[in-house]
Every structure is written in structure tokens, then in C-alpha cells.
Amino acid sequence: MSEAQRNLPPVTVETRPFWEACRDGRLLLQQCRGCGHRQFYPRLVCSQCLGRELDWIEACGRGQVESFTIMRQAISPAYRNDLPYVVAIIRLAEGPTMLSNVIDCDPEALQIGMDVELRWATVTDEITLPKFGPA
Amino acid sequence: MSSLRARTAIVAAADTKVGAVPEMSATQLCVDAACRAIEAAGIGKEQVDGLLTCNAMAEPYMYHAEMIAEYLQIFPRYCMSIGAGGGTTFALVHHAATAIANGLCDTVLIATADAMRSGLSKERAFALMSSAGHPQFESPYGPSIPAFYALIAQAHMHAYGTTPEQLAAVAVNARDYASRNPAAQKREPITIDDVLASRMIADPLHVLDCSLVSDGGAAIILTSAERARDFPGEPVYLLGAGEGHSHEHISQARSLTTSAAVESGQRAYTMAGLGPRDIDVAELYDCFTPVLLIELEDLGFCDKGAAGEFVLAGELGPGGSLPTNTHGGLLAHCHPGNPGSMFSLTEAVRQLRGESCNQVAGAEVALAHAQGGIMSSHATLILGTEATR
Ligand SMILES: [Zn+2]
């Protein structure tokens, strides 16, 4: 199955800097200049104080498995060769959570609370997805 | 605004045939439900001056409520379709009651239906299945809707020691009630072992932990408490209503194991002046087995983390302390998408009128709860008989 049939993020003017950084192997978060809040996904405003002065910061790439599931049935033929694959919520060291895949591991050995670190998965010339593997 | 407590009452409730209904479109199911409710109310369609619907995935219209009004040639002064996923039904009731109490209209028809089993094109069904979640930050990782609920289940198991057997007991309870409900889509009784032996979809959820895919519709008519006495059916009063909305995407949830059902429940209890111990029968949203556990806890029926034991002990069954989903719920009665919880509401009405096929003896107060999205939008209703006003 061609990679092109995978679900690709529809990049917007709001998220372009994020996805461009992913292509360069950097996971960006936003940090509020007013209150210091760090957030993912990218937003126009700080979701804590609604401040508009946000700086991009690079995440250290470490996190923990907040929860996970092992997919036994693919959502489309493009994902079938990945079975069984892990869909997880990762709590980043900086605080925010994100959905991702945990790869390079035995899914059966995965546990909530496990330390993970960034792994980059190139999908197309434009899109590289931040994924995670055992730390 | 003064309290909505007992200001409005349901005077008619009706279901269409449910399950696989290939002979009817989503629009026909909605219209069928609407006409059955109007007939049950014993009124002419011209007396309906408010119409609330939710859009149908199988046959969407830009202005769905206006479409149904046009189809039936009724000309309401209050007309709207609302979309809050599975929470839509009770949000609709909440809005309708508010509208009636504020004089926007007198008699509201709430009609919802969809044809998720027979009415979706292959392309639409594939698109729905293959693109769940946030298009940029979830969907590319290949999650499914069951997977989102599996994340919730795993977190609950990790935090509280909830077991796959306890999850399975939720599905077993639903089938048990459904086995005595001739209208239910799945009526063969099942055991915990059957659930655990069924195909794994996304750990820890087996296919029997997941609700059905159905066609079907249901409708109710809500009017002011004063007018309700003029209708032939026994009025079922809306004693409390509350909502809570916390997120859209599960990866952005405040908590995986505690939901906005806490807020929606507290708001409904406060309005009703009642608490969990006053509830005789509950109809709770059970799109996946872990959802019902979290609702039992967040609505105060048991301590946080204790719902698994509560269900395994048979408390939801006939003769238990909280008979729940007495029609069979989304797991066994039917689940036609967003209209799913309408059937909880019509069952609650039957319970309070003494007409359920799994009648809880002497039921005076019912609680119905629904959630939509991925534990995103919550709405709780508390309903009561004349004696509870
Ligand atoms: Zn801020």
C-alpha cells in the first residue's frame, strides 16, 4: 500500500511552522510570554490567559505513556501493514499531552507510565510525524 | 431565569422499528418517529410550534430541522437542529425546556433518526471509519473511535484496578435486559466469557464491548407542565437538566478517567433537588463498556474507581440497587449514531409510566445521561412522575 493513502495532516497557516520544524526533526511547543503556560497543539492564543504573545520552544523529546491501546484492526488498508500498532497519549516532559504512535517496541510489553522519547517517521516529502519509542 | 424544575413535561414518546431497517431512509425514520409521537400525544400537527432535530449522517441536510418541518408541512416558531454527538438528545431536551419556560413556544417535537447501518454509502462509511479524531494531530496516527475509548479504559484499569471482566459485565447486563425486549436488535443473552472471547478491536476492548450499528429513530413531545394535563398520556416531568462540556479531542482531555458528567450531573441534581440515592432507574450512555463505568462514578452512584465491582455485583440488573439500561442500551437495543440516547429517554418515559418490558416496580424518578464525542459533551436529565413534582 502506498504511503500516500495514509491520513496526512491538512497543514494550515496556523500550524505550518510546527510541521516545517517536524521536517527538520524539531518538536515545537508554544510558550506564553505572559503566564509561562506551555501548550500543544499550536494556537493563536494562550489557552490559559488568552495572551497573544507566544514563543515557539523546542520540546526535549522525552515523555511518558499516559495511556495506550494496541490496534488490532486497521482504520484503512494504508495502516494494515503496521498491525498490531500502538496508539498512545504521551505526556511530554514539558507538560502538554499529544496523541502519537509508540514504535520500535513490543506492544504487549508497553505499560502506562513508561518513559518514551521522540522518533521521527517520514511519511511524505512534506510530512514527518513525531512518534515515540522506548527511552 | 427561575428554575426549570417541573416546568415542562414529556407527553408523548415513540420509537420506530430499530436495528436493520433497510426499507426506510434516515429522513423517513425521522418522520416516522415524529408522526408516532404526534399520534401518541393525541394532537394535530398544527399544535407543534417548536421542532428540534439532529442531522442524519446517512442523509444530511444543511438545515435539517427546517427540512423535517417542510416535509411534514408544519410551520414552527422555534426550529433548530443541534449537534452534540451522542449528547445531542438531552441537550435538545434542555434547550426545548428552556424555550418553553421562556415563552418561545408551547409544544416542542423532538425527532431524531439515522440510518447508520443501511443508509451510508460505502465511501461515507469508509471515510467515517478511517478518519476519526483531530485531522492534524490525531488522525494521521491511525486511531479508531474504539481506540479512543480504549485509551480511557486502559487509564481506568491502571488507576483503579478495573478488570476486563468488569467491563464485560456491562455488556452482559445490557444483553440480559435486551433478551426480554422484543424491540431490541441483539437479544441473545451473553456471558462474560463470551465477551472476553470475542475479537479484540483495540485493547482492552473486544467487539462485544462496543455498541451496535443501527438504523432507527425516536421522538418525544415536550410541553409546559400546565398544558401537559390536557394530553391523554401520563405526563413525565423534567425535574432536572444539566450539561458539561470539556473538550473535543481525547488527547486534549483534562482527565481520561473523570468526565464532565460530574458537572452535568451536579447541575441536574441541584435543579431537581435530588441526589443519586433518589434515582429508581438509570438510562446511561453505553457506546463502549468503560463509558458506563465512568458515568456511574461521576454521577455519584458509587465511589470513584468502584464502578467495576458495582456492575459485577449485579447492581444494574433487575432487583439491583440501580437497574440500568432496561431497554438494552446502545450495546444491545440499538445505536443509530447521534440519536442513540433518544431511546434511553423513551425508555425512561416508559419506566415512569409503568410500561417498560423490564419494568422497575414503583419507579418514580429516572436519570438519563448521554455523552457525545469522546467523553466530550455531557448532558443529564432527571425525570419524575406526578408524585415527584
Ligand atoms: Zn498565558
Please name the residues between 291 and 320 in chain B that touch chain A, using a CB distance below 8 Å.
none
Looking at the complex, does the CB of residue B203 fall below 8 Å from at least one CB of chain A? yes
Instruction: Report how far apart, in Å, the C-alpha atoms of B115 and of each of A63, A74, B70, B355 are.
Output: 42, 24, 20, 27
The pLDDT of residue B174 is 98
DSSP state of B233: S
Asked if B144 lies within 8 A of A73 by C-beta distance, the reply is yes
Q: Establish if A37 belongs to a structural domain.
A: yes
Cα A54 to averaged position of ligand 1 atoms, centre (Å) = 8
Cell numbers representing residue B180 in the block: 426480554
The pLDDT of residue A51 is 98
Q: Which residues of chain A carry a pLDDT beneath 70?
A: 1-4
Closest by Cα among B374, B375, B304 to B139: B374
> How confident is the model over B85-108, as pLDDT tens digits?
888 889 999 999 999 999 999 999
Q: Could you say which of B140, B152, B203 has the minimum Cβ distance to residue A6?
A: B140
Backbone angles phi, psi at B31, to 5 degrees: -70, -40
pTM tops 0.90: yes
Q: Which residue of A has its CA nearest to B136?
A: A9
Residue B225 near residue B2, CB atoms below 8 Å: no
Looking at the complex, does the CB of residue B158 fall below 8 Å from at least one CB of chain A? yes
**Sheet of B281-284, strand order:** B78-81, B50-53, B107-115, B215-224, B8-15, B236-245, B377-384, B365-372, B281-284
Mean pLDDT of B197-222: 98
The pLDDT of residue A2 is 46
pLDDT over threshold 80, residue B1: no
Q: Could you say which of B129, B137, B158 has the minimum Cβ distance to residue A75?
A: B129
Range of the domain at A113: 16-134
B233 compared with B149, residue with greater pLDDT: B149
Distance between CA atoms of residues B311 and B294, nearest Å: 12
DSSP state of B350: H
Q: Establish if A10 belongs to a structural domain.
A: no
Residue A89 near residue A68, CB atoms below 8 Å: yes
Q: Could you say which of A41, A75, A89 has the minimum Cβ distance to residue B142?
A: A75
Number of inter-chain CB pairs under 8 A, A vs B: 108
Angle of helix B145-160 versus helix B289-298 axis, rounded to 10? 50
Provide CB contacts within 8 A for B255, sequence distance 6+. Answer: none
Asked if A87 lies within 8 A of B152 by C-beta distance, the reply is no
Q: Which residue of B has its CA nearest to A88?
A: B151
Q: What is the CATH number of domain B8-119+213-388?
A: 3.40.47.10
The pLDDT of residue B86 is 87
Element (H, E) at A23: helix A16-23
Q: Which three-class secondary structure state does DSSP give residue A42? A: coil
Residue A63 near residue A132, CB atoms below 8 Å: yes
Q: Establish if A97 belongs to a structural domain.
A: yes
> How confident is the model over A87-112, as pLDDT tens digits?
999 999 999 999 999 999 999 999 99
The pLDDT of residue B64 is 97
pLDDT over threshold 70, residue B339: yes
The pLDDT of residue A4 is 46
Q: What is the largest CA-CA distance in chain A?
A: 47
Mean pLDDT of B158-183: 98
Boundaries of every domain in chain B: 8-119+213-388
pLDDT over threshold 90, residue B194: yes
The pLDDT of residue B84 is 82
* Residue type at B32 in one-letter notation: D
Total domains, chain A = 1
Q: Is B57 left (phi over 0), alpha (psi -120 to 50) or beta?
A: alpha
Looking at the complex, does the CB of residue B138 fall below 8 Å from at least one CB of chain A? yes
Measured between CA atoms, how close is B72 to chain A, in angstroms?
39
Q: Which residue of A has its CA nearest to B200?
A: A72
